[in-house]
Amino acid sequence: MIRHSLRLAALSGAAVLALATPAGAQLKVFDPTNYASNVMQAARALEQINNQVRSLQNQALSLTNQARNLQQLPYSSLQTLQGNLGRIGSLMQQAQRVAYDVQAIQREFGQNYAVSSGASDAALIASANARWRNSAEAFQHALQVQAGIVSGLPSTRAELSALVGASQGSVGIVQATQAGNQLLALQSQQLSDLTAMTAAQGRAAALEQAERAASRAQAQEQFRRFMDRRQGYQAQPVEMFR
């Protein structure tokens, strides 16, 4: 009786399932292997997407850095440097008499620094005066060049401070390079100032030495003439009594 009852219960359950399941429908069975495979595929796809996102971020960062490196320096000292160089150049061109010209120097030395025994006393005196004026003008010009350089020192210090600040605050290679180039240009301007001052001082010193040498030669010539005249004066009374 018990076995018969169990068999009837099983048949009844099967009948209920048959009535509850639609016609043509099949029961789906969970497959863990297939589920794991799907999860791995989804994970790999997500990783690829993350890699693409990181690649795009790196490209955007690279473009940003490139744009930053190509930025121009917002500060320029070119106008100030050109102004300083132009001022000193103008002062150098104001040199007069024996200026910075080879032919003019040769002509002046041939006229006033070479003492000739055939020159008259008036010519010797005129040459001496010309040499003195040359030396005086050279020393005055040297002082003017020095004053021009000293007057430009405040602007040079200001430019140096501004360029150092721009160099330290540069955001890219181009800005740092431009700041460095302008610092080199500022140094070149300072070297040009020193060259001009050295040239002016050297000109004054050379003319002074040339004046001393010519003055000694002129003094010797005038002393020789004085002695010749003295001897002539001493010999003249003797000739009168003959």
Q: What is the pLDDT of residues 217-229, one digit of tens each?
A: 999 988 888 888 8
Residue 139 lies in a domain: yes
Query: Strand runs (DSSP E) across 77-182, as ranges?
Result: none
Residues near 85 by Cβ (< 8 Å), separated by ≥ 6? 189, 192
Residue 44 lies in a domain: no
Q: What is the pLDDT of residues 19-47, one digit of tens each?
A: 444 544 455 566 777 777 777 888 888 88
Packing angle between helix 78-93 and helix 173-241, nearest 10 degrees?
Answer: 10
Q: Which of 45-54, 120-129, 215-224, 226-235 has the lowest mean pLDDT?
A: 226-235
* Domain limits for position 163: 117-172+180-241
Residue 20 lies in a domain: no
Residue 195 lies in a domain: yes
Residue 198 lies in a domain: yes
- Our measurement of the distance from residue 154's CA atom to the centroid of its chain's CA atoms, rounded to an integer in Å, reads 18
Residue 62 lies in a domain: no
Total domains present in the chain: 1
Residue 24 lies in a domain: no
Average pLDDT over residues 7-22: 46
pTM of the model: 0.63
Residues near 183 by Cβ (< 8 Å), separated by ≥ 6? 160, 163, 164, 167
Tokens (6 digits) for 38: 């799907």
Note whether 138 and 211 are within 8 A (CB).
no
Residue 19 lies in a domain: no
Average pLDDT over residues 72-94: 82
